[in-house]
C-alpha cells in the first residue's frame, strides 16, 4: 500500500530534528508496525511555502503517478496567509479532490494548524471553513489537526515550545509523532483494511 503525503512545510518536516522524524516518516514506520505483511510505503511530497494551487499542479506527477491508495493533502496555510480569496480556494480544492478521485485515490484533507494568536490573520477561520466545507461536500475525511493541537495546548501535555517548535508553528518531533500516530489510527481503523485488500488484489492482477 502506498500513501502519498502531499503538502507544504509541515509535511516536508520543518522543525523536526531529523528526516525520519517528519510525520510521513513516522506514519510509515507506524503503519508497517501495525500492518505486518502489508508492504506500506509513505511518500513524502512536501514542499515548503507552497499554495494549494502549486500543489494542484503537482497532483499528476507527485501523486497520481505514484499510484497510491491514499493521499493526505496538507494545504491551505499559505493561501490563508496570502488571503487568495475563499471562492478561489474552494475551486482549487474541489479540482484537487476530483483529480484524485478520478484516479481512484482516497483523499484525506488535513485541517490547518492551531496557532497561539490567530488574530493576526483575520480570515483564518474562514479559510478553515472552506476546507471543512470542501471535505463535507465531497464526502472525504478531514483530519482534525486544529482540534488536536488545541487540545494538546489546553491539556498542557506539551509546552507550547514542544508543540510548535521554536518557530511557533512547526510541530517538533513529539508533535509530528502524535500527528502520525493519530493518522495511522484513522487509516488502520477506517479505510485501511478495505484498501489494503483492494491494493493487494489489484497488485495480484497486474502481476
Residues that bind other proteins (CB under 8 A): 8-9, 12, 14-16, 45-49, 51, 53-54, 56-57, 77-78, 81-84, 87-88, 91-92, 95, 115-117, 119-122, 160, 164-170
Sign for the CA dihedral angle at 20, 24, 27, 28 comes to: negative
Give me the least distance between CB of 15 and other proteins, in Å please: 7
Q: Which residues of 79-90 are buried (b: 16+ CB within 10 A; e: fewer)?
A: bbeeebebeebb
Q: Are residues 71 and 6 in contact, defined by beta-carbon separation less than 8 angstroms?
A: yes
Least Å distance, CB 108 to other proteins, is 21
Residue 50 CA to residue 72 CA, distance in Å, equals 15
| Angle CA 25–131–59, to nearest 5 | 55
CB 120 within 8 A of CB 155: no
Q: Based on CB atoms, which residue is closest to other proteins, 34 or 62? A: 62
Q: Which is nearer to other proteins, 35 or 169 (CB)?
A: 169
Instruction: Closer to other proteins by CB, 28 or 74: give it.
Output: 74
Contact 131, 93 (CB under 8 A): yes
85 or 186: CB nearest other proteins: 85
Question: What SS3 class is residue 71?
Answer: strand
d(C-alpha 69, C-alpha 53), whole Å: 22
Choice between 32 and 91, CB closer to other proteins: 91
Q: Please, which residue, 57 or 147, has the CB nearer to other proteins?
A: 57
Q: Read off the C-alpha cell for 60.
A: 499528476
45 in Cβ contact with 2 (< 8 Å): no
Amino acid at each position: 500500500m502506498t500513501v502519498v503525503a502531499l503538502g507544504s512545510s509541515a509535511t516536508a518536516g520543518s522543525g523536526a530534528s531529523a528526516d525520519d522524524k517528519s510525520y510521513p516518516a513516522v506514519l510509515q514506520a507506524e503503519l508497517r508496525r501495525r500492518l505486518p505483511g502489508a508492504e506500506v510505503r509513505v511518500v513524502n511530497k512536501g514542499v515548503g511555502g507552497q499554495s494549494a494551487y502549486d500543489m494542484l499542479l503537482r497532483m499528476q506527477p507527485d501523486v497520481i503517478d505514484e499510484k497510491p491508495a491514499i493521499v493526505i493533502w496538507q494545504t491551505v496555510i499559505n493561501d490563508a496567509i496570502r488571503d487568495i480569496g475563499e471562492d478561489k480556494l474552494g475551486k482549487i480544492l474541489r479540482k484537487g479532490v476530483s483529480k484524485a478521485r478520478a484516479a481512484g485515490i482516497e483523499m484525506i484533507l488535513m485541517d490547518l494548524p492551531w496557532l497561539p494568536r490567530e488574530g493576526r490573520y483575520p480570515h483564518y477561520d474562514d479559510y478553515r471553513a472552506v476546507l471543512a466545507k470542501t471535505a463535507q461536500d465531497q464526502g472525504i475525511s478531514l483530519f482534525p489537526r486544529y482540534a488536536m493541537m488545541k487540545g494538546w495546548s489546553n491539556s498542557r501535555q506539551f509546552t507550547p515550545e514542544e508543540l510548535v517548535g521554536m518557530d511557533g508553528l512547526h510541530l517538533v518531533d513529539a508533535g509530528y509523532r502524535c500527528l502520525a500516530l493519530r493518522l495511522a489510527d484513522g487509516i488502520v481503523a477506517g479505510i485501511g483494511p478495505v484498501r489494503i485488500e483492494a491494493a493487494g488484489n489489484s497488485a495480484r492482477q497486474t502481476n
